[in-house]
Amino acid sequence: MSQVIGPGDPADIYKANTGKSKVVLDMHYYNLYDNSFENMSTQENIDFLYRNRKFQMDSLNAADGPLLFIGEWVNEFGRGGSTEDYRNFGRAQLDVYGSASFGWAYWSFKNVNNHWSFQWNINQNYLRL
């Protein structure tokens, strides 16, 4: 199942009492496409990951419901930044999304947009697994 798009709460899916057997909730997390991220510093974007996304993921992982899969993410955020900013942001995402009970998947292995390309991020040492 995919998450609710828009202002809905992904926990609503858990109220359907699907149980954990053979059911996975697919979440897509981006620090893009929302004007509120554009004015955030790199550290504020990272803090948002730990404060909001990690909290939500921990709550969903602990709930009696489907497993949690982060089905899309990229090493890009609203403001952009230096090489070190992207390394720090990528490291925080790997840390947070690594706690998903069913794992995660990057947007694409190879993409013309560098920060959307898993291969490029690995080759440039932006993401270190």
Predicted confidence at residue 2, as pLDDT, reads 63
Q: Indicate the pLDDT class of residue 36, thresholds 50, 70 and 90.
A: confident
Is residue 18 domain-resident? yes
pLDDT-above-90 percentage for the chain: 51
What total number of domains does the chain contain?
1
What is the residue-wise DSSP string for 28-53?
E--B-SSHHHHTS-HHHHHHHIIIII
**Strands of 67-72's sheet, edge to edge?**
24-28, 67-72, 103-104
Is residue 55 domain-resident? yes
In order of 4, 9, 54, 63, the CA distances from 20 in angstroms are 18, 19, 20, 10
Rounded distance between C-alpha atoms, residue 75 and residue 73, angstroms: 7
Whole domain around residue 119: which residue ranges? 11-123
Is residue 6 domain-resident? no
Is residue 88 domain-resident? yes
Residues 43-62 have pLDDT tens digits of 999 999 999 999 999 988 88
